[in-house]
Amino acid sequence: MTRRAALVGLLADGGLHSGEVLAAELGVTRAAIAKQVQSLAAWGLAVDAIPRRGYRLATPLELLDAARIEARLAPATRARGGAIALHEQLESTNSHLLAEPAPAAGAFRACLAEYQSAGRGRRGRRWLAPYGSGLCLSFAWLYETPPADLGALSLAAGVAVLRALATQGIGGLQLKWPNDIHRGGGKLGGILSELRFEAAGPAHVVIGLGLNVHLPAGLAAAVAREGGVPPADLADAGPPSRNALAAAILDALAEVAAGFGAEGLRPYAAEWRAADVLLDRAVHVHGPAGVRDGIARGIDPHGGLRVQFGDAIESLTAGDISLRAVA
């Protein structure tokens, strides 16, 4: 653990901690503590410095704990022999897992990071989240025989995340094709599925999830500068325990990953359609040929988005979709 992460651990309770006590705990000078506090801004953390009294985090944090996550996993998930790795910082949890060997067939490998320095969304967009403010989680699975419609796995993963959040008492969520999770008109999370495979060989699939749990108010402006949908989080829902949420999501992803290999999207399609935020709404479709306007008509059996352009309906397998204001 780095000294910076150790300092966050001491401040995580949101209480006031004197510089003298922090310096003693970490075996450094008070000047070094002041310097480390300033460095926490690089992780997006705000710290209140109160003269002659000490430091406190503007927002308390529940830090992730691999043992607590593993203890909360369902017996069926533990029986799959999964491995969970927890990191204080990575460039990308997806890239980290894709660079590792694939898990054994029927098992999973999971990776979580408190902070991603180069988190990725679709179309090269960055995923912005301060240290400890959400979940940066990736889940790896091996399909010895790649299932048909493997590209629809992101949709099934979206259903898995909604199921997991429901177990934590969080409902009213929607899904935006192909891989966004919405709450109250804002983007709560995103899913990025990537794979590595050889011709006629097994498929090593990594499902990445970025989920906002509690975000500072200033982040909305940063996301706006990135050109993204305004963010939503779960702050008004408690927020829930990040460790409990991580375990519930791993349970749900393990169940869906195993089921998808045999049944594809079919068992999850009805739930996806019920949560479809685009259904029968006017949309802009941004593609290689430019922008076209249409009406979203739900997903097809293979996970493509059906869009009505004039009198014709097309099924799209790629493209960036945004809601279109209608006068």
Q: Domain 3-57: which topology? A: Arc Repressor Mutant, subunit A (1.10.10)
DSSP state of 310: T
CATH 2.30.30.100 residue spans of the chain? 282-323
Report the distance separating Cα 89 and Cα 92, nearest Å: 9
Residue 225 is predicted with a pLDDT of 65
- What is the per-residue pLDDT across 222-271, written as a single tens digit (0 to 9) for each? 666 666 678 899 988 777 899 999 999 999 999 999 999 989 999 999 99
Q: Which of 109, 187, 242, 297 is catalytic?
A: 187
Q: How confident is the model at residue 123 (pLDDT cuts 50, 70, 90)?
A: low
Terminal alpha carbon distance of the chain: 55
CATH class, domain 282-323, is mainly beta
Outline which parts of the chain fall under CATH 3.30.930.10: 66-274
What count of other Cβ atoms lies within 10 Å of the Cβ of residue 283? 20
Q: Is 112 exposed, middle or buried (0-12, 13-18, 19+ CB in 10 A)?
A: buried
222 against 36, higher pLDDT: 36
Our answer to whether residue 187 is catalytic in this structure is yes
Using left for φ > 0, alpha for ψ between -120 and 50, and beta otherwise, residue 70 falls in alpha
DSSP character at residue 104: P
Question: Among this protein's residues, is 324 annotated catalytic?
Answer: yes
Q: Where in the chain is the domain with CATH 1.10.10.10?
A: 3-57
pLDDT surpassing 70 at residue 193: yes
- What proportion of the chain, given as a percentage, has pLDDT over 90? 72
The DSSP secondary-structure symbol of 294 reads E
Tell me the CATH number of domain 66-274, given options 1.10.760.10, 3.40.920.10, 3.30.390.10, 3.30.930.10.
3.30.930.10
Ramachandran angles phi, psi of 119, nearest 5°: -60, 140
The residue from 3, 68, 122, 125 that is catalytic is: 122
pLDDT average, residue stretch 113-129: 70
Q: Could you tell me if 48 and 56 are in contact, meaning their C-beta atoms sit under 8 angstroms apart? A: yes
